[in-house]
Structure 1
Amino acid sequence: MIGETGPSPVGLDVALVGRRGSFAIEAAFTAPARGVTALFGRSGSGKTSILRAIAGLTRLEGRVRVAGETWQDGALFLPTHRRPLGYVFQEASLFSHLSVDGNLIYGARRSPGGVDAAMRREVIDLLSLERLMPRAIGDLSGGERQRVAIGRAILSRPRLLLMDEPLSGLDHRAKDEILPFIEQLAAGLDLPILYVSHDLAEIERLADRIVVVAEGRVQASGPLNAALTDLGLGLVRDPRAAAVLPARVTGFSEEDGLAELDLGGQRVFVDGSGPEEIGLNRRLRIVASDVSLARAPLAASTILNILRVEILAIEPGGRADLAILLALDGAPDLTFMAKVTRRSAARLQLAPGDRLHAQIKSVSLATSPMPRLR
């Protein structure tokens, strides 16, 4: 693993103001010293402008500090080439006249200490680049080019990794191919990663924290699930609204291929790959529209996952439905949502404080590795 595990103090401190195009930018947030912090917002919200300002490619007024080092503050403004960062763009932007290996080590040659042979070998293994080494850049797929671009950024020994919608130009198959590599990368790198995307599903899979941007301004910043389940922030009104919760694999059934996980002291079952996952941390994605509520658990049902919950709040989710914020019984910090029709809520006379049973289809619990960051 690249880097060591340990506590995550503040690694990135940003406070920037200025104008870009038709709107003002006001961006103030922090990110931990390791892990993925997502900059999320609609296209045109100002995410890339903020990222470019952090990189020094665009000048805004304010402060940028990385791992205790000031890159910008007042009259001090380090140009981009003096900021030890890696930048992965939407397009891979590789040099067609260089080999795959030549592209990989291009940035490393210009960094202090030059090319680190051990790190080069580790990056090649981590991103599964060995079989690509003899190929020409023009013969690589979009996903393969992005893996090379990511490797190049890492080998430059950055103190901050910036990723600007690196999957936006890829088809679904290429995205599915490269996402596991980014997950492994996030788990292994001992530095902060700032990941720009307007795709909430990507962020739910990759990020630990989120910064929500709208019209150039930061609306919210904090742990991912706190934002996903913040009824006032409005993400719950997305048709694909979901929560992402940490769980630990506690068992695996060879007979039916299901893994058993501990979620806040309660059991859930999901498709599992094998007993080798026992003891691993996973993240569970619970889609709000796939959660139903009952006063008592059904005596006979095909639904395996039935969790004891308490209603924390109820807000309008749409014209015909309500968004209901739930907390796991015995684990009030683990929250997720249910979307139910107004008619169903009235029939059950649902109200905050009610203790109910949340029924969740197994197929709605999608798992991916959870980096061991803390």
Structure 2
Amino acid sequence: MRDRAPPALGLSARFRGRLGDFRLDVAFEAPDRGVTALFGPSGCGKTSVLRAIAGLERFAEGYFALGGDVWQEGAAFRPVHRRPIGYVFQEASLFPHLDVRANLDYGRRRALRGGARESTRFDDVVDLLGLSRLLARAPGALSGGERQRVALGRALLTQPRLLLMDEPLSALDRLAKEEIIPYLERLRDSLGLPTLYVSHDIGEVERLADHVVLMAAGRVAAAGPLGEIQSRPDLPLARMPEAAVTLAAEVVAHDPDYDLTTLAAHGARLIAPGAFGPPGSRRRVRIAAPDVALVRDPPRASSILNCPAARVIEAAPRGRGMMTVVLALGAEGEGARILARITRRSWDHLGLGPGQPVFAQIKGVALVSPSAPGEEG
């Protein structure tokens, strides 16, 4: 594997080698802000990549750099204790003999003794993660979600330049996940800390990620912005039953009489039920492929509120009788891409093909997250 110079910004990773019978051969780059999700099925190598970046696994053919700072280049290898990372595992692994305050302070004191600059303050982390009422508690008295919030706070107080999160919600039940995800969203939106987030849960990725590295069988299948990866019909995400695209949108207005919010996305205005915040608020919305139907002419009257103009970009068969269609919003196809799932008969009957102008009847627009993909805090 030929190493290359790191980009001026962002992170760059290349690892190749074997772990027992498993072969890893990955290469990707990602931004130096926001959340990059390593997404794929169990056993595809996501955790191995995270451990290699942390320095816990060593590949002879390896390269990693963050913002031009090279941590590994072939045989040149920075040991794990000299890598400015915060690592959050599936299990919180708190010290049972210390209360929450002491658990949090442990990582902070160790980092400062090692010469780290205190860029993340104790009180700020406590406020960000809502830990003030927990400080005197023992770990055994915490819920699963509370333990993970403390583990996250401890990782942040090590003053990292990179946060690594290895399926931090996988050991939690649904209610606990819903409890902690808003704190992860606050973290993403409040700190300029690049985060690599391992998950096999597409719902977590849609809510948290700005950028996706899609993995399969020890390799990178694709990498790029979330919406771009979701809307590629050649990739597994578009073939999933729950295929959807996550769009950045801005609140335009709210109609209190009907409790409907108008949002501006790239290439279209969308209407969704509920209040999404004041005008100007940036939001992340989800449009599911099965909720999008296509018509050649604008409907004169319909209960479906959203029917923006769009252009067909491409299509791919899904099974024997279905098609996944990629659309670009806007009369000229200048906007964001979404997916539609229609029958092959409808595709043929409507005479559709690349470049064809259509109208996308969108049955539902759902709020995913209180900030837009790629939005910096």
TM-superposition CA deviations, 1:100-150 (whole Å, max 9, x none): 111112111111367959721111111111122222211111111111111
Is the 8 Å Cα contact of residues 225 and 244 (structure 1) preserved in structure 2? yes
Letter of the 2:127 partner, please give it. Answer: D
Is the 8 Å Cα contact of residues 24 and 218 (structure 2) preserved in structure 1? yes
Deviation at 1:272, TM superposition (A): 3.8
Is the 8 Å Cα contact of residues 94 and 145 (structure 1) preserved in structure 2? yes
Is the 8 Å Cα contact of residues 310 and 333 (structure 2) preserved in structure 1? no
TM-superposition CA deviations, 1:35-88 (whole Å, max 9, x none): 011101100001001110110111112111122212111222111111110000
Alignment of 1:301-312 (within 5 A): 301-312=302-313
Matched with 1:3 is none
Query: How far apart are the structure 2 equivalents of 1:188 and 1:363?
Result: 26
Is the 8 Å Cα contact of residues 268 and 335 (structure 2) preserved in structure 1? no
TM-superposition CA deviations, 1:328-369 (whole Å, max 9, x none): 114535111000112222222222221111111235454532
Matched with 2:326 is 325
TM-superposition CA deviations, 1:161-204 (whole Å, max 9, x none): 00001111111111111111111111122221000001112111
Query: How far apart are the structure 1 equivalents of 2:316 and 2:295?
Result: 18
Matched, 1:51 2:53: no
Letter of the 2:271 partner, please give it. Answer: F
Is the 8 Å Cα contact of residues 145 and 180 (structure 2) preserved in structure 1? yes
Pick closer, same or farther for the CA change 1:242–1:58 going to 2, 3 Å.
Answer: same
Pick closer, same or farther for the CA change 1:209–1:153 going to 2, 3 Å.
Answer: same
Is the 8 Å Cα contact of residues 12 and 64 (structure 2) preserved in structure 1? yes
Matched with 1:229 is 231
Letter of the 2:122 partner, please give it. Answer: R
Alignment of 1:272-291 (within 5 A): 272-273=274-275, 276-291=277-292
Does the residue aligned with 2:176 lie in a helix, a strand or coil? helix
Deviation at 1:10, TM superposition (A): 2.6
Q: Calculate the aligned-residue CA RMSD, in Å.
A: 2.0
TM-score (norm. length: structure 2)? 0.92
Query: How far apart are the structure 1 equivalents of 2:105 and 2:333?
Result: 47
Query: How far apart are the structure 2 equivalents of 1:373 and 1:114?
Result: 25
Matched, 1:241 2:240: no
TM-superposition CA deviations, 1:270-304 (whole Å, max 9, x none): 23436x53101111211001111111232222211
Letter of the 1:297 partner, please give it. Answer: P
Is the 8 Å Cα contact of residues 249 and 279 (structure 1) preserved in structure 2? yes
Alignment of 1:11-30 (within 5 A): 11-30=10-29
Does the residue aligned with 1:369 lie in a helix, a strand or coil? coil
Is the 8 Å Cα contact of residues 237 and 318 (structure 1) preserved in structure 2? no
Matched with 2:93 is 93
Pick closer, same or farther for the CA change 1:89–1:83 going to 2, 3 Å.
Answer: same
TM-score (norm. length: structure 1)? 0.93
Does the residue aligned with 2:27 lie in a helix, a strand or coil? strand
Query: How far apart are the structure 1 equivalents of 2:40 and 2:9?
Result: 23
Aligned to 2:255, which of 249, 253, 257? 253
Letter of the 1:87 partner, please give it. Answer: Y
Letter of the 2:324 partner, please give it. Answer: A
Query: How far apart are the structure 2 equivalents of 1:133 and 1:279?
Result: 36
Matched, 1:173 2:172: no
Pick closer, same or farther for the CA change 1:86–1:227 going to 2, 3 Å.
Answer: same
Query: How far apart are the structure 2 equivalents of 1:333 and 1:256?
Result: 28
Query: How far apart are the structure 1 equivalents of 2:147 and 2:363?
Result: 37
Is the 8 Å Cα contact of residues 10 and 31 (structure 1) preserved in structure 2? no
Q: Which moved more, 1:344-353 or 1:361-370?
A: 361-370
Query: How far apart are the structure 1 equivalents of 2:327 and 2:19?
Result: 40
Query: How far apart are the structure 1 equivalents of 2:219 and 2:371?
Result: 31
Alignment of 1:162-241 (within 5 A): 162-241=164-243
Is the 8 Å Cα contact of residues 286 and 365 (structure 1) preserved in structure 2? no
Does the residue aligned with 2:137 lie in a helix, a strand or coil? coil
Query: How far apart are the structure 1 equivalents of 2:376 and 2:104?
Result: 26
Pick closer, same or farther for the CA change 1:66–1:114 going to 2, 3 Å.
Answer: closer
Letter of the 2:133 partner, please give it. Answer: R
Query: How far apart are the structure 2 equivalents of 1:117 and 1:343?
Result: 59
Matched with 2:63 is 63
Is the 8 Å Cα contact of residues 9 and 33 (structure 1) preserved in structure 2? no
Matched with 1:160 is 162
